[in-house]
Amino acid sequence: MELKKEFRADFVCYDKIIVELKAVNDIVDEYYAQVYNYLKASNMQLGLLINFGNNSLETQRIPCSHKWNRLSANSSNETNTIS
């Protein structure tokens, strides 16, 4: 299947990990979906969503092994905040 649009991840580390950087007050579902779509389009298995826009650094690990949804991501306690 050919993509009709290009995607541009902020960083690709070790040809395995997509890193998406944000500087926003809150991480919303669209940002998680963006990383998940990048993973599916690239056949990579792991994404990191990093937000610099809050008072503290926020990171979210997003695996491509299952369909992401916000409830499962939040309940897995994988959101890290660094003060």
Q: Residue type at 75?
A: S
Is pTM, for the whole model, over 0.75?
no
- CA distance linking residue 73 with residue 62, whole number of Å: 8
User: pLDDT at residue 20 above 90?
Assistant: yes
User: pLDDT at residue 22 above 50?
Assistant: yes
Mean per-residue pLDDT for 66-71? Answer: 53
- CA distance linking residue 18 with residue 11, whole number of Å: 6
Mean pLDDT of the chain: 80
User: What 3-state class would DSSP assign to 75?
Assistant: helix
DSSP H helical segments within the chain, as ranges? 29-42, 70-75
pLDDT given at position 76: 44
- CA distance linking residue 51 with residue 65, whole number of Å: 23
Q: Write the CB contacts of 65 (distance below 8 Å, at least 6 apart in sequence).
A: 45
pLDDT given at position 49: 94
pLDDT given at position 71: 46
